[in-house]
Amino acid sequence: MEIVNMDYTQFLAMKQEIGLLIVFIVVFLYDTFLPAKSQKALPGLTAVLMLILTVCGIVFEAVAPETLSKTAFAGMYVSTPVIAALKTILNVGVVIVLIQSVNWANSSFMAMRRGEFYELLLVTLFGMYLMVSARHFLLFVIGLESASLPLAAMVALDKNRYESHEAAVKYILTAVFSSAIFMLGLSFVYGLTGSLYFNDIYAALTGAGVNMMLIVALAAVVSGVGFKLSLVPFHLWTADVYQGAPTSVTSYLSVISKGAAAFAFLVILVQAFGMLYAQLWEWMLYALIILTITVGNLFAIRQKNMKRFLAFSSVSQAGYIMLGVISDGAPVATAAMMFYILVYIFSNLAAFGVIGAIERASGKLSMDDYRGLYRTNPRLSVAMMLAMFSLAGIPPFAGFFSKFFIFTGALSAPGVGTAMYVLVLIALINTIVSLYYYLLVVKAMFIADDQCVIEPFRSSASERLGLWITVAGIIGLGIASWFFSELNVLTATYPLI
Amino acid sequence: MLTNPLIYFVVIPLLMLAGIGLCNNRNVGAIRAVAVIGSLALLTLSTFLLVDFLGQRAAGADAAMLFVNDTVVWFAPLNIHLAIGVDGISVAMLMLSSIILFTGTFASWKIDQPKEFFLWLILLSTGVFGFFISIDLFTMFMFYEVALIPMYLLIGVWGSGRKNYSAMKLTLMLMGGSAFLMLGLIGIYYHSAADGNLTWNILTIAANDAIPHGWQNFLFPMTFVGFGVLGAMFPFHTWSPDGHASAPTAVSMLHAGVLMKLGGYGCFRVAIYLMPYAAAELSYIFLILTGISVVYGAFCACVKTDLKYINAYSSVSHCGLVLFAILMLNTTAMTGAIMQMLSHGLMTALFFALIGMIYGRTHTREITKMGGLMKIMPFLGVCYVIAGMASLGLPGLSGFVSEMTIFVGSFMHADMFHRVFTIVACCSIVITAVYILRVVGKLLFGPVYDEHHLSLTDAEWWERLSTVTLIIAVAAIGCFPNFFVDLINKTFTPEIFSVLGMTSTAL
């Protein structure tokens, strides 16, 4: 390892982190020093600042992608256009979450904690940036922790509700437990390879055989990240936390946190443990994917609470995202995975947007309350239906394209055997199971002819804006092939390995 | 792209969707107007296409597909194109689809919530038309799924009987088929070229002929079962009776008339056309299954008393015959299969339209609760008899020519297995006569069962329009079969059959 002098120019490699930090500081100062009567503008301000950051990311990506290709801190931190694109995808999701949460943040209950929500959210996002960019496990752990711990506080924001506390306690305990296991695995890895740099680990594992300790180490690392992704069997916290957390936090948790963790998982497995692909983690992941998709689907069928329902649906969606990891960082698969995350953000946030609006207006959260919704609130029902169709992978909505591409990506490795075809077949059959429960929602809204308990109401401007954006994404992201093609160009130009 | 007439088969339905979307909910007249004008435009377009296609063929254009446009790239990284093109089979199918959409529009003249109904119906037909013009496997599959999902809401909202159960069963079974299909298609893509220039284009894949035989044996069952589910192949046919029985009239028409043809067409165009070796090797398995469909469906139709169930099982039997004939892998039988698709599409649409009209008057579909309808509504009665005669294969109507061709083609195989199964399948003709005559005798003739039925009226103008259109088409196929044979014959170029090691025997 060459010695690199630390100077301030190193920090300039972290363009997006710096941008995010500036947003954070502005929000923090605004929250702390401005009088209470101007605080109502805070949600809008945060959303606008994040939007600016997102636009800057896109502009950089389009105009000068090579300037995004930087390393810092002796290779601990790496940024490439691919990674920057993923961060921008996360930013897009954050902007939508922020828009959708304006109403909730400005409710009288949140008046005292409005700032906390935004500050904690930005800190966790910062942690996710580090997770994605880290090439050294020390930095990765810093990112992982700062992405997990503040989330527990966010889950507990709804402090008058018992479920919110319960969820927060469950979340923090499992988070701490899983990071402990993760770090145990890291100590094994360090003992085996003598380094925590991804590329050093890769080099040390080259040609080395598989031994028991390595298996345990890898299993511990996988379970640590698997917790963030809520892969089965590390998913047990998911439903309770999703249900207990305020809806805005749930939607953030379900898409942004999952997207970041999925990509970080890919980077770790490919760059640090790439040598063990065929021997170890291909099969680990193979089993995990089957378990995750199947169990998530089977549990989702029985759920009546919409948030629990989407929790299990998101468990199984994480399994589909993992299909992008299993082909060992092949460019098409990586692009398909990033595209899947993008589409998943839009689809899931559309669903959560509807749920949030209905919850705010009527307090109803059960699928049975949605019976006959089309007659009272036709627009919300259509938005929900599009979200369900997109999550289920029905054309011409974006979810169809992302599912098709992630399956194609999983089979993209040359000479891929029938085992992988069987995996994809299992995943495909599972999409039918998932279609069943997504259709249950559609059935409740459109076909059931009960008198709907949810009165007609007009959703607020911010909720409508959020839904319009997500619906536009659901319809446009797939048909406009630009997004997927551009991601492919990026991943082909800047491959992970 | 926009100079290609084929693209308008998708553009017009999209415009119709936009037009109906802009209509006011209560303005039924405007919605009907958009639907009628649009479907009339599609009918005109497919007629022009037919004439133009025949003209080009007569002028000596002997490429496998005409009107080909495969230059528009959609997803460059995966080499997905918006590729379109038609051969005689697709032209015939487009013609069939537009006739049935046109008549279906009139059959659903008085539907509740017309705006939503027509939106879904036209979305469905967008999928159907898109499927038939695509020669890129990806867009083909996409349109295939677009055509499937509206069925759920069409049956669920506008259906009758156990509609929730039927809608869910139909959707899940068909989408289950498409899960196998998707895997098959991705597999085909990854083995589509020996030199690494992977493609989704059907013509290129067929020309490359690069799919290794081992993979063909894996991918052929995937795609054949995938499409076979929609073609109501035993044992995956169970969605069909429930689905058709619960669906509203126009949906039954479109579904049995057109959508089930997607299955047969796909089996031919994808499974057999692209993987002929596996087709030759594995056809016996599917011949057994489709042979069972043919006979079993006909027997089921004999014992049912609900008119829609009878016709749905009869569809299972007839569509089974389509797949059966395709698997015979010779020109004569395949020609018969395409004829049978057209014939069944038209006559089953006619049946469902008539059943819908009868049900709209008597409010029952049980044949035990009706009788003597011929005296009360002679027009509908006569039409029903004509449809029945077409179904049981009366010469002069479409059923005769198609079934005759199929059985002649099947019997050309000299081996015992094929001959035995041909004879078994032939039995279905007799069984068909049993259930058709039973229904006709009970429903139309005999004493009037219910006094209240005496006050019922005969068909209205829109009903007459839709039935007469269909009857003309059925008779046209029956009287001028050679026209259709010439139209589709070019498709079975000797190349496919040289791969199969068979001779293409002219009719």
Return the residue matching tokens 């085909």: B188
Is residue A121 very low, low, confident or very high in pLDDT (cuts 50, 70, 90)? very high
Q: Do B78 and A405 touch (CB under 8 A)?
A: yes
Measured between beta carbons, the chain B residues lying within 8 angstroms of A425 are: 179-180, 183
> Which chain B residue lies closest to A425 (C-alpha atoms)?
B183
Gap between the Cα atoms of B418 and B283, Å rounded: 10
The pLDDT of residue B492 is 59
Q: Which residues, 6+ apart, have CB-to-CB distance to B34 below 8 Å?
A: B16, B19, B20, B23, B118
> Which of B162, B166, B182, B219 to mutate to probe the A interface, most A CBs <10 Å?
B182
Measured between beta carbons, the chain A residues lying within 8 angstroms of B176 are: 429, 432
The pLDDT of residue B498 is 52
Question: A496 to chain B, minimum CA–CA distance in Å?
Answer: 17
Nearest Cβ partner of B176 from A389, A408, A432?
A432
Tell me the HSE value of B352 on the side-chain side, using a 13 A CA sphere: 33
Is residue B505 very low, low, confident or very high in pLDDT (cuts 50, 70, 90)? very low
Gap between the Cα atoms of A55 and A72, Å rounded: 24
Measured between beta carbons, the chain B residues lying within 8 angstroms of A405 are: 75, 78
> Which chain A residue lies closest to B178 (C-alpha atoms)?
A428
Instruction: Give the DSSP H or E segment for A436.
Output: helix A418-442
Q: Do A389 and B189 touch (CB under 8 A)?
A: no
The pLDDT of residue B491 is 61
Q: Per-residue pLDDT for B506 more than 50?
A: no
Q: Which residues, 6+ apart, have CB-to-CB distance to A240 below 8 Å?
A: A163, A166, A167, A170
> Which chain A residue lies closest to B141 (C-alpha atoms)?
A395
Q: Do A492 and B142 touch (CB under 8 A)?
A: no
Measured between beta carbons, the chain A residues lying within 8 angstroms of B149 are: 389, 394
Question: A425 to chain B, minimum CA–CA distance in Å?
Answer: 6
> Which of A400, A406, A481 to mutate to probe the B interface, most B CBs <10 Å?
A481
The pLDDT of residue B235 is 87
> Which of A416, A443, A483 to mutate to probe the B interface, most B CBs <10 Å?
A443
Q: Which neighbouring-strand residues pair with B224?
A: none
Q: Do A395 and B145 touch (CB under 8 A)?
A: yes
Q: Which residues of A touch B (CB under 8 A)?
A: 332, 335, 389, 394-396, 400, 404-405, 407-408, 411-412, 416, 418, 421, 424-425, 428-429, 431-432, 435-436, 439, 442-443, 446-447, 481, 484-485, 488-489, 492
Instruction: Answer whether residue A2 is part of any domain.
Output: no
* Phi, psi of A297, deg, nearest 5: -65, -45
Q: Per-residue pLDDT for B504 more than 50?
A: no
CA–centroid distance for B294 within its chain: 16
Q: What is the DSSP string of A443-471?
A: IIIII--SPPSSPP----HHHHHHHHHHH
Question: B420 to chain A, minimum CA–CA distance in Å?
Answer: 35
Question: B97 to chain A, minimum CA–CA distance in Å?
Answer: 21
ipTM rounded to 2 decimals: 0.92
Question: B129 to chain A, minimum CA–CA distance in Å?
Answer: 15
Measured between beta carbons, the chain A residues lying within 8 angstroms of B179 are: 425, 428-429, 431-432
| Contacts across the A-B interface (CB distance below 8 Å) | 86
Average pLDDT over residues A318-332: 89
Whether the Cβ atoms of residue B152 and residue B113 lie closer than 8 Å to each other: no
Print the SS3 string covering A219-266. HHHHHHHHHHHCCCCCCCCHHHHHHHCCHHHHHHHHHHHHHHHHHHHH
Measured between beta carbons, the chain A residues lying within 8 angstroms of B76 are: 481, 485, 488
> Which of B75, B219, B223 to mutate to probe the A interface, most A CBs <10 Å?
B75
Question: B175 to chain A, minimum CA–CA distance in Å?
Answer: 6
Average pLDDT over residues A412-417: 79
> Which chain A residue lies closest to B149 (C-alpha atoms)?
A394
Q: Per-residue pLDDT for B365 more than 70?
A: yes
Print the SS3 string covering B198-258. CCCEHHHHHHHCCCCHHHHHHHHHHHHHHHHHHCCCCCCCCHHHHHHHHCCHHHHHHHHHH
Which range is most confident: A33-37, A136-140, B268-272, B499-503? A136-140
Q: Do B146 and A424 touch (CB under 8 A)?
A: no
Give the length of chain B.
507
> Which of B14, B183, B219 to mutate to probe the A interface, most A CBs <10 Å?
B183
Q: Do A481 and B75 touch (CB under 8 A)?
A: yes
Pairwise pLDDT comparison (B178 vs A112), residue with the higher score: B178
The pLDDT of residue A497 is 67
Measured between beta carbons, the chain A residues lying within 8 angstroms of B77 are: 332, 335, 484-485, 488-489, 492
pLDDT tens digit sequence for B163-222:
889 999 999 999 999 999 999 999 999 988 888 888 898 888 888 888 888 888 999 999
What's chain A's average pLDDT? 89
Whether the Cβ atoms of residue A383 and residue A294 lie closer than 8 Å to each other: no
Gap between the Cα atoms of B354 and B360, Å rounded: 10
Measured between beta carbons, the chain A residues lying within 8 angstroms of B74 are: 481
Question: A370 to chain B, minimum CA–CA distance in Å?
Answer: 16
Question: Percent of chain A at pLDDT above 90?
Answer: 51
pLDDT tens digit sequence for B369-419:
887 778 888 888 888 888 888 888 888 888 888 888 888 888 888 888 888
pLDDT tens digit sequence for A334-351:
999 999 999 999 999 999
Measured between beta carbons, the chain A residues lying within 8 angstroms of B152 are: 439, 442
Q: Per-residue pLDDT for A3 more than 70?
A: no
Is residue B109 very low, low, confident or very high in pLDDT (cuts 50, 70, 90)? confident
Measured between beta carbons, the chain B residues lying within 8 angstroms of A400 are: 142, 145
Q: Per-residue pLDDT for B256 more than 70?
A: yes
> Which chain A residue lies closest to B73 (C-alpha atoms)?
A481
The pLDDT of residue A375 is 87
* Phi, psi of A164, deg, nearest 5: -65, -40
Give the domain extent around A290. 11-493
Nearest Cβ partner of B149 from A394, A408, A443?
A394
Gap between the Cα atoms of A108 and A111, Å rounded: 5
Q: Do A439 and B152 touch (CB under 8 A)?
A: yes
Measured between beta carbons, the chain B residues lying within 8 angstroms of A391 are: none
Q: What one-letter code names the amino acid at B234?
A: F
Q: Do B78 and A332 touch (CB under 8 A)?
A: yes
What tokens does B346 get? 């038209």
Measured between beta carbons, the chain A residues lying within 8 angstroms of B190 are: 411-412, 416
Instruction: Answer whether residue A3 is part of any domain.
Output: no
Measured between beta carbons, the chain A residues lying within 8 angstroms of B181 are: none
Nearest Cβ partner of A332 from B77, B145, B180?
B77
Q: Do A447 and B172 touch (CB under 8 A)?
A: no
Instruction: Answer whether residue A5 is part of any domain.
Output: no
Average pLDDT over residues B129-133: 92
Measured between beta carbons, the chain B residues lying within 8 angstroms of A389 are: 149
Gap between the Cα atoms of A440 and A422, Å rounded: 28
Whether the Cβ atoms of residue A69 and residue A223 lie closer than 8 Å to each other: no
Average pLDDT over residues B286-290: 90
Query: CB B185: neighbour CB atoms within 10 A?
Result: 26
Q: Per-residue pLDDT for A300 more than 80?
A: yes
What's chain B's average pLDDT? 85
pLDDT tens digit sequence for B25-74:
788 888 888 888 999 999 999 999 888 888 888 787 777 777 888 888 88
Is the pTM above the cut of 0.80?
yes
Measured between beta carbons, the chain A residues lying within 8 angstroms of B215 are: none
Burial class for A100, CB neighbours closer than 10 Å (0-12, 13-18, 19+): buried
Measured between beta carbons, the chain B residues lying within 8 angstroms of A382 are: none
The pLDDT of residue A7 is 73
